[in-house]
Amino acid sequence: VTKAGDGTMLSDIVRLVESAQARTAPVQRLADQVAGKFCYSVMAMSAGTFVFWKFAAPTLFPKVGTALGARHGLLIRGGDVLEKANAVDTVVLDKTGTVTAGTPAVTKIVTSGAGAGGKGGETAEGTSVKELLKLAAAVENSSTHPLARAIVAAAEVEGVLGLAADESTFHQEPGSGAVAQVQGRQVAVGTVEWIHRHCTGNDAEMKAEAVRLAGEAAAGRTVVYMGLDGKLVGAFQIEDQIRPEAAGTIARLLRNKLDVHILSGDHPDAVAAVAVELGLPLDKVHGGVRPADKAAFVVALQREGRQVAMVGDGVNDTAALAEATLGIAMGGGVGAATEVAAALQLSKATFQKIQQNLVWAFAYNIVGIPVAAGAALPLCGIMLTPSIAAAFMGVSSLGVMANSLLLQAT
Protein backbone atom coordinates (compact mmCIF):
# COMPACT_ATOMS: atom_id res chain seq x y z
CA VAL A 1 0.00 0.00 0.00
CA THR A 2 1.59 3.24 -1.08
CA LYS A 3 -1.27 5.74 -0.44
CA ALA A 4 -4.41 5.99 1.69
CA GLY A 5 -7.83 6.55 0.13
CA ASP A 6 -7.67 10.36 0.31
CA GLY A 7 -4.41 10.34 -1.58
CA THR A 8 -5.48 8.20 -4.46
CA MET A 9 -5.99 9.43 -7.98
CA LEU A 10 -9.74 8.83 -7.60
CA SER A 11 -9.87 11.16 -4.61
CA ASP A 12 -8.02 13.83 -6.59
CA ILE A 13 -10.55 13.55 -9.40
CA VAL A 14 -13.47 13.90 -6.94
CA ARG A 15 -11.87 17.04 -5.46
CA LEU A 16 -11.37 18.53 -8.89
CA VAL A 17 -14.98 17.89 -9.84
CA GLU A 18 -16.22 19.44 -6.59
CA SER A 19 -13.99 22.45 -7.11
CA ALA A 20 -15.28 22.84 -10.64
CA GLN A 21 -18.84 22.67 -9.45
CA ALA A 22 -18.20 25.33 -6.82
CA ARG A 23 -16.89 27.79 -9.37
CA THR A 24 -19.56 29.82 -11.17
CA ALA A 25 -19.35 31.06 -14.68
CA PRO A 26 -19.73 34.85 -15.22
CA VAL A 27 -23.14 34.34 -16.85
CA GLN A 28 -24.31 32.35 -13.84
CA ARG A 29 -23.23 35.13 -11.53
CA LEU A 30 -25.30 37.53 -13.67
CA ALA A 31 -28.26 35.15 -13.47
CA ASP A 32 -27.92 34.99 -9.71
CA GLN A 33 -27.94 38.79 -9.46
CA VAL A 34 -31.02 39.09 -11.71
CA ALA A 35 -32.75 36.23 -9.93
CA GLY A 36 -32.20 37.92 -6.59
CA LYS A 37 -33.78 41.16 -7.75
CA PHE A 38 -36.52 39.29 -9.60
CA CYS A 39 -37.27 37.31 -6.45
CA TYR A 40 -37.73 40.54 -4.51
CA SER A 41 -39.91 41.90 -7.33
CA VAL A 42 -42.13 38.82 -7.27
CA MET A 43 -42.39 39.01 -3.50
CA ALA A 44 -43.30 42.70 -3.72
CA MET A 45 -45.93 41.98 -6.37
CA SER A 46 -47.29 39.15 -4.24
CA ALA A 47 -47.48 41.44 -1.24
CA GLY A 48 -49.13 44.09 -3.39
CA THR A 49 -51.66 41.57 -4.66
CA PHE A 50 -52.42 40.48 -1.11
CA VAL A 51 -52.88 44.06 0.05
CA PHE A 52 -55.12 44.83 -2.93
CA TRP A 53 -57.49 41.93 -2.37
CA LYS A 54 -57.36 42.14 1.42
CA PHE A 55 -57.78 45.88 1.89
CA ALA A 56 -58.21 47.81 -1.35
CA ALA A 57 -60.67 45.65 -3.26
CA PRO A 58 -63.43 45.69 -0.62
CA THR A 59 -63.36 49.49 -0.62
CA LEU A 60 -62.49 50.22 -4.25
CA PHE A 61 -65.89 49.39 -5.66
CA PRO A 62 -67.95 51.18 -2.98
CA LYS A 63 -65.68 54.21 -3.41
CA VAL A 64 -66.53 54.29 -7.10
CA GLY A 65 -70.20 54.09 -6.14
CA THR A 66 -70.02 56.77 -3.45
CA ALA A 67 -68.07 59.09 -5.78
CA LEU A 68 -70.68 58.60 -8.48
CA GLY A 69 -73.42 59.31 -5.92
CA ALA A 70 -71.72 62.57 -4.95
CA ARG A 71 -71.72 63.66 -8.59
CA HIS A 72 -75.50 63.18 -8.60
CA GLY A 73 -76.00 65.09 -5.34
CA LEU A 74 -76.20 62.01 -3.10
CA LEU A 75 -74.07 62.09 0.05
CA ILE A 76 -73.46 58.41 0.85
CA ARG A 77 -71.63 57.90 4.13
CA GLY A 78 -69.67 54.83 3.06
CA GLY A 79 -69.53 51.43 1.43
CA ASP A 80 -71.41 49.85 4.34
CA VAL A 81 -74.37 52.11 3.56
CA LEU A 82 -74.32 51.05 -0.10
CA GLU A 83 -74.30 47.43 1.03
CA LYS A 84 -77.38 48.02 3.21
CA ALA A 85 -79.15 49.79 0.34
CA ASN A 86 -78.55 46.78 -1.88
CA ALA A 87 -80.48 44.57 0.57
CA VAL A 88 -83.53 46.88 0.87
CA ASP A 89 -86.87 45.37 -0.15
CA THR A 90 -89.25 47.88 1.50
CA VAL A 91 -89.30 51.68 1.24
CA VAL A 92 -91.22 53.84 3.72
CA LEU A 93 -91.70 57.46 2.66
CA ASP A 94 -92.71 60.37 4.83
CA LYS A 95 -95.27 62.44 2.94
CA THR A 96 -94.41 66.07 3.67
CA GLY A 97 -91.25 67.25 1.93
CA THR A 98 -90.54 63.89 0.33
CA VAL A 99 -93.57 62.95 -1.72
CA THR A 100 -94.86 66.52 -1.61
CA ALA A 101 -92.90 69.67 -2.41
CA GLY A 102 -92.52 70.60 1.24
CA THR A 103 -93.85 74.13 0.64
CA PRO A 104 -97.42 73.97 1.99
CA ALA A 105 -99.67 77.03 1.84
CA VAL A 106 -102.82 78.07 3.70
CA THR A 107 -105.66 78.04 1.16
CA LYS A 108 -108.65 78.55 3.49
CA ILE A 109 -109.48 79.51 7.08
CA VAL A 110 -112.74 78.40 8.66
CA THR A 111 -114.07 79.56 12.02
CA SER A 112 -116.20 77.89 14.61
CA GLY A 113 -119.58 78.90 15.99
CA ALA A 114 -122.37 80.95 14.46
CA GLY A 115 -119.96 83.14 12.57
CA ALA A 116 -118.48 80.26 10.62
CA GLY A 117 -118.21 80.78 6.95
CA GLY A 118 -114.64 80.81 5.85
CA LYS A 119 -112.24 83.66 5.30
CA GLY A 120 -113.60 86.93 6.47
CA GLY A 121 -115.94 85.36 9.08
CA GLU A 122 -115.72 85.58 12.85
CA THR A 123 -115.87 83.11 15.70
CA ALA A 124 -118.90 82.93 17.95
CA GLU A 125 -116.96 85.14 20.38
CA GLY A 126 -116.41 87.76 17.66
CA THR A 127 -112.74 87.08 16.96
CA SER A 128 -111.94 87.85 13.32
CA VAL A 129 -110.12 85.53 10.95
CA LYS A 130 -107.17 87.93 10.78
CA GLU A 131 -106.94 87.96 14.56
CA LEU A 132 -106.92 84.16 14.63
CA LEU A 133 -104.21 84.09 12.00
CA LYS A 134 -102.21 86.68 13.93
CA LEU A 135 -102.37 84.70 17.17
CA ALA A 136 -101.64 81.35 15.47
CA ALA A 137 -98.62 82.81 13.68
CA ALA A 138 -97.25 84.13 16.98
CA VAL A 139 -97.12 80.51 18.24
CA GLU A 140 -96.01 78.86 15.01
CA ASN A 141 -93.22 81.37 14.45
CA SER A 142 -91.19 79.42 17.02
CA SER A 143 -91.61 76.15 15.09
CA THR A 144 -89.77 74.86 12.03
CA HIS A 145 -92.44 72.39 10.90
CA PRO A 146 -93.55 72.98 7.27
CA LEU A 147 -97.21 73.40 8.30
CA ALA A 148 -96.19 75.94 10.93
CA ARG A 149 -94.17 77.86 8.36
CA ALA A 150 -97.24 77.89 6.08
CA ILE A 151 -99.32 79.64 8.76
CA VAL A 152 -96.53 82.15 9.39
CA ALA A 153 -96.26 82.83 5.66
CA ALA A 154 -100.02 83.39 5.43
CA ALA A 155 -99.86 85.89 8.31
CA GLU A 156 -97.03 87.71 6.56
CA VAL A 157 -99.05 87.95 3.35
CA GLU A 158 -102.04 89.32 5.29
CA GLY A 159 -99.80 91.82 7.08
CA VAL A 160 -100.59 90.50 10.57
CA LEU A 161 -97.24 88.97 11.45
CA GLY A 162 -95.75 90.73 14.44
CA LEU A 163 -96.82 89.16 17.71
CA ALA A 164 -94.58 86.77 19.60
CA ALA A 165 -95.30 84.11 22.19
CA ASP A 166 -94.89 85.21 25.77
CA GLU A 167 -91.45 84.34 27.14
CA SER A 168 -90.95 80.72 28.31
CA THR A 169 -94.51 79.69 27.45
CA PHE A 170 -93.91 77.96 24.10
CA HIS A 171 -94.24 74.17 24.10
CA GLN A 172 -94.14 71.90 21.07
CA GLU A 173 -94.79 68.20 20.66
CA PRO A 174 -93.61 66.74 17.34
CA GLY A 175 -96.48 65.24 15.39
CA SER A 176 -99.12 66.93 17.56
CA GLY A 177 -98.80 70.69 17.67
CA ALA A 178 -97.65 73.72 19.64
CA VAL A 179 -99.10 75.82 22.45
CA ALA A 180 -98.08 79.13 24.03
CA GLN A 181 -99.38 82.20 25.80
CA VAL A 182 -99.76 85.21 23.50
CA GLN A 183 -100.60 88.48 25.23
CA GLY A 184 -101.91 86.46 28.14
CA ARG A 185 -104.18 84.26 26.01
CA GLN A 186 -103.60 80.52 25.58
CA VAL A 187 -103.20 79.63 21.91
CA ALA A 188 -102.94 76.01 20.77
CA VAL A 189 -102.38 74.98 17.15
CA GLY A 190 -102.18 71.39 15.87
CA THR A 191 -104.15 68.18 15.52
CA VAL A 192 -107.67 67.80 16.87
CA GLU A 193 -106.31 65.55 19.66
CA TRP A 194 -103.82 68.26 20.61
CA ILE A 195 -106.56 70.89 20.78
CA HIS A 196 -108.71 68.51 22.83
CA ARG A 197 -105.89 68.22 25.38
CA HIS A 198 -105.82 71.99 25.77
CA CYS A 199 -109.55 72.67 25.70
CA THR A 200 -111.86 72.91 28.67
CA GLY A 201 -115.25 72.83 26.91
CA ASN A 202 -117.69 70.00 26.30
CA ASP A 203 -115.91 67.07 24.62
CA ALA A 204 -118.82 66.02 22.44
CA GLU A 205 -119.44 69.58 21.23
CA MET A 206 -115.76 70.06 20.46
CA LYS A 207 -115.54 66.83 18.46
CA ALA A 208 -118.71 67.68 16.53
CA GLU A 209 -117.31 71.13 15.74
CA ALA A 210 -114.01 69.60 14.61
CA VAL A 211 -115.90 67.33 12.22
CA ARG A 212 -117.80 70.34 10.85
CA LEU A 213 -114.62 72.36 10.36
CA ALA A 214 -112.94 69.44 8.59
CA GLY A 215 -116.02 69.11 6.39
CA GLU A 216 -115.67 72.70 5.24
CA ALA A 217 -112.14 72.02 4.04
CA ALA A 218 -111.67 70.61 0.55
CA ALA A 219 -111.40 66.84 0.33
CA GLY A 220 -107.91 65.53 0.77
CA ARG A 221 -106.46 68.73 2.22
CA THR A 222 -104.57 68.92 5.51
CA VAL A 223 -106.49 70.57 8.37
CA VAL A 224 -104.70 72.27 11.28
CA TYR A 225 -106.95 73.19 14.21
CA MET A 226 -106.70 76.17 16.55
CA GLY A 227 -107.77 76.51 20.16
CA LEU A 228 -108.07 79.81 21.99
CA ASP A 229 -108.47 80.11 25.75
CA GLY A 230 -109.61 76.50 26.05
CA LYS A 231 -112.05 76.50 23.11
CA LEU A 232 -111.85 75.23 19.53
CA VAL A 233 -112.15 78.39 17.43
CA GLY A 234 -111.14 77.51 13.88
CA ALA A 235 -109.07 75.54 11.43
CA PHE A 236 -106.59 76.19 8.63
CA GLN A 237 -106.86 74.30 5.35
CA ILE A 238 -103.32 73.72 4.10
CA GLU A 239 -102.34 72.33 0.74
CA ASP A 240 -98.96 70.95 -0.29
CA GLN A 241 -98.46 70.13 -3.95
CA ILE A 242 -97.32 66.64 -4.84
CA ARG A 243 -93.94 66.66 -6.55
CA PRO A 244 -94.32 66.29 -10.33
CA GLU A 245 -91.85 63.40 -10.37
CA ALA A 246 -93.32 61.57 -7.35
CA ALA A 247 -95.73 59.32 -9.28
CA GLY A 248 -93.00 58.27 -11.71
CA THR A 249 -90.55 57.61 -8.89
CA ILE A 250 -92.97 55.39 -6.97
CA ALA A 251 -93.79 53.52 -10.18
CA ARG A 252 -90.05 53.01 -10.67
CA LEU A 253 -89.68 51.63 -7.14
CA LEU A 254 -92.60 49.28 -7.70
CA ARG A 255 -91.10 48.06 -11.00
CA ASN A 256 -87.97 47.18 -9.03
CA LYS A 257 -90.21 44.95 -6.88
CA LEU A 258 -89.92 47.15 -3.79
CA ASP A 259 -92.79 47.39 -1.31
CA VAL A 260 -93.66 51.10 -0.89
CA HIS A 261 -95.48 52.70 2.06
CA ILE A 262 -96.30 56.34 2.86
CA LEU A 263 -96.55 57.58 6.46
CA SER A 264 -97.82 60.97 7.58
CA GLY A 265 -99.06 62.76 10.64
CA ASP A 266 -101.77 64.36 8.49
CA HIS A 267 -105.40 63.29 8.60
CA PRO A 268 -105.95 59.87 6.97
CA ASP A 269 -108.30 61.42 4.38
CA ALA A 270 -105.57 63.82 3.24
CA VAL A 271 -103.05 60.98 2.95
CA ALA A 272 -105.58 58.80 1.10
CA ALA A 273 -106.04 61.56 -1.48
CA VAL A 274 -102.27 61.50 -2.08
CA ALA A 275 -102.39 57.73 -2.53
CA VAL A 276 -105.04 58.07 -5.23
CA GLU A 277 -102.91 60.59 -7.15
CA LEU A 278 -99.81 58.39 -6.89
CA GLY A 279 -101.55 55.16 -7.79
CA LEU A 280 -100.80 53.42 -4.50
CA PRO A 281 -103.30 51.07 -2.82
CA LEU A 282 -104.99 52.64 0.21
CA ASP A 283 -103.57 49.96 2.48
CA LYS A 284 -100.06 51.24 1.67
CA VAL A 285 -100.69 54.76 3.03
CA HIS A 286 -101.08 55.56 6.72
CA GLY A 287 -102.30 58.89 8.13
CA GLY A 288 -102.44 60.28 11.64
CA VAL A 289 -99.13 58.60 12.48
CA ARG A 290 -97.16 60.16 15.33
CA PRO A 291 -93.31 60.17 15.30
CA ALA A 292 -93.09 57.28 17.79
CA ASP A 293 -95.63 55.35 15.72
CA LYS A 294 -93.49 55.82 12.61
CA ALA A 295 -90.59 54.13 14.38
CA ALA A 296 -92.89 51.35 15.60
CA PHE A 297 -94.17 50.83 12.04
CA VAL A 298 -90.60 50.39 10.78
CA VAL A 299 -89.77 47.95 13.59
CA ALA A 300 -92.92 45.92 12.83
CA LEU A 301 -91.85 45.56 9.19
CA GLN A 302 -88.37 44.46 10.26
CA ARG A 303 -89.84 41.80 12.53
CA GLU A 304 -91.48 40.37 9.41
CA GLY A 305 -87.99 39.94 7.96
CA ARG A 306 -88.10 43.08 5.81
CA GLN A 307 -85.06 45.21 5.04
CA VAL A 308 -86.52 48.71 5.40
CA ALA A 309 -85.35 52.04 3.99
CA MET A 310 -86.97 55.00 5.77
CA VAL A 311 -87.03 58.30 3.90
CA GLY A 312 -87.79 61.56 5.70
CA ASP A 313 -86.78 65.18 5.92
CA GLY A 314 -87.85 66.41 9.35
CA VAL A 315 -87.40 66.02 13.10
CA ASN A 316 -90.64 63.99 13.15
CA ASP A 317 -88.83 61.24 11.24
CA THR A 318 -85.69 61.02 13.40
CA ALA A 319 -86.72 57.96 15.42
CA ALA A 320 -87.91 56.06 12.35
CA LEU A 321 -84.71 56.93 10.45
CA ALA A 322 -82.65 55.55 13.34
CA GLU A 323 -84.65 52.31 13.54
CA ALA A 324 -84.62 51.55 9.80
CA THR A 325 -82.11 49.25 8.13
CA LEU A 326 -81.24 52.24 5.97
CA GLY A 327 -82.12 55.82 6.90
CA ILE A 328 -82.27 58.34 4.05
CA ALA A 329 -82.44 61.94 5.23
CA MET A 330 -83.57 64.32 2.52
CA GLY A 331 -82.61 67.97 2.48
CA GLY A 332 -85.99 69.00 1.11
CA GLY A 333 -84.50 69.92 -2.27
CA VAL A 334 -86.20 69.55 -5.61
CA GLY A 335 -86.43 65.95 -6.72
CA ALA A 336 -86.10 64.47 -3.24
CA ALA A 337 -88.24 61.45 -4.06
CA THR A 338 -86.31 60.79 -7.27
CA GLU A 339 -83.03 60.80 -5.32
CA VAL A 340 -84.27 57.86 -3.26
CA ALA A 341 -84.80 55.71 -6.35
CA ALA A 342 -81.43 56.86 -7.69
CA ALA A 343 -79.64 55.89 -4.47
CA LEU A 344 -81.15 52.40 -4.44
CA GLN A 345 -80.40 51.90 -8.14
CA LEU A 346 -76.80 53.04 -7.60
CA SER A 347 -76.39 50.53 -4.78
CA LYS A 348 -77.64 47.64 -6.90
CA ALA A 349 -75.44 48.69 -9.85
CA THR A 350 -72.39 48.90 -7.56
CA PHE A 351 -72.91 45.42 -6.16
CA GLN A 352 -73.49 44.00 -9.64
CA LYS A 353 -70.02 45.32 -10.50
CA ILE A 354 -68.57 43.70 -7.39
CA GLN A 355 -70.09 40.35 -8.35
CA GLN A 356 -68.77 40.69 -11.92
CA ASN A 357 -65.29 41.53 -10.63
CA LEU A 358 -65.23 38.60 -8.23
CA VAL A 359 -66.30 36.18 -10.97
CA TRP A 360 -63.67 37.63 -13.32
CA ALA A 361 -60.88 37.51 -10.72
CA PHE A 362 -61.59 33.95 -9.61
CA ALA A 363 -61.99 32.63 -13.18
CA TYR A 364 -58.86 34.43 -14.36
CA ASN A 365 -56.74 33.05 -11.52
CA ILE A 366 -58.21 29.54 -11.66
CA VAL A 367 -57.14 29.36 -15.31
CA GLY A 368 -53.99 31.49 -15.10
CA ILE A 369 -52.24 29.93 -12.11
CA PRO A 370 -52.06 26.38 -13.55
CA VAL A 371 -50.93 27.76 -16.93
CA ALA A 372 -48.21 29.80 -15.22
CA ALA A 373 -47.16 26.67 -13.31
CA GLY A 374 -46.71 24.80 -16.62
CA ALA A 375 -49.82 22.66 -16.64
CA ALA A 376 -50.44 23.52 -20.31
CA LEU A 377 -46.94 22.52 -21.44
CA PRO A 378 -47.61 18.80 -21.93
CA LEU A 379 -50.95 19.42 -23.57
CA CYS A 380 -50.39 22.43 -25.85
CA GLY A 381 -46.73 23.25 -25.50
CA ILE A 382 -47.52 26.55 -23.80
CA MET A 383 -45.19 27.70 -21.05
CA LEU A 384 -45.24 31.18 -19.50
CA THR A 385 -42.01 32.73 -18.36
CA PRO A 386 -42.06 34.32 -14.88
CA SER A 387 -42.02 37.81 -16.37
CA ILE A 388 -45.03 37.10 -18.61
CA ALA A 389 -46.89 35.46 -15.72
CA ALA A 390 -46.26 38.52 -13.57
CA ALA A 391 -47.50 40.77 -16.38
CA PHE A 392 -50.70 38.73 -16.71
CA MET A 393 -51.26 39.15 -12.97
CA GLY A 394 -51.21 42.90 -13.47
CA VAL A 395 -53.68 42.58 -16.35
CA SER A 396 -56.13 40.88 -13.96
CA SER A 397 -56.03 43.81 -11.54
CA LEU A 398 -56.34 46.34 -14.36
CA GLY A 399 -59.37 44.48 -15.68
CA VAL A 400 -61.06 44.64 -12.28
CA MET A 401 -60.38 48.37 -11.95
CA ALA A 402 -61.53 49.12 -15.50
CA ASN A 403 -64.79 47.25 -14.99
CA SER A 404 -65.38 49.15 -11.72
CA LEU A 405 -64.86 52.48 -13.45
CA LEU A 406 -67.49 51.54 -16.04
CA LEU A 407 -69.96 52.20 -13.22
CA GLN A 408 -69.51 55.88 -14.05
CA ALA A 409 -71.47 55.30 -17.25
CA THR A 410 -74.60 54.18 -15.38
- Report angle CA 195, 197, 202 to the nearest 5 degrees: 80
Strands (E), 61-123: 90-94, 105-111
Distance CA(379)–CA(365), nearest Å, equals: 19
94 catalytic residue (yes or no): yes
Distance CA(320)–CA(307), nearest Å, equals: 13
How far is the CA of 281 from the CAs of 100, 244, 275, in angstroms?
A: 18, 19, 7
The gap from C-alpha 74 to its chain's centroid, in whole angstroms, comes to 9
- Report angle CA 237, 239, 241 to the nearest 5 degrees: 175
Bridge partners of residue 225, in order along the sequence: 190, 235
Element (DSSP H or E) covering residue 189: strand 185-190
The 285-286 sheet, strands edge to edge: 285-286, 259-263, 90-94, 308-312, 326-329
Strands (E), 124-170: none
Which pairs with CB-CB distance under 8 Å and at least 24 residues apart come from 299-306? Answer: 299/323, 301/90, 301/92, 306/89, 306/90, 306/259
Interacting residues of 409 by C-beta distance below 8 A, sequence separation 6+: none
Q: Hey, is 332 helix, strand or coil?
A: coil
Phi-psi group of 275: left, alpha or beta (phi > 0 → left; psi -120 to 50 → alpha; rest → beta): alpha
Count how many residues are written for the chain.
410
Q: Contact 307/89 with Cβ under 8 angstroms?
A: yes
Interacting residues of 344 by C-beta distance below 8 A, sequence separation 6+: 85, 88, 91, 253, 256, 258, 309
Largest CA distance in the chain: 147
From the candidates 12, 32, 80, 94, give the one annotated as an active-site residue: 94
Interacting residues of 283 by C-beta distance below 8 A, sequence separation 6+: none
- Which residues are known to be catalytic? 94
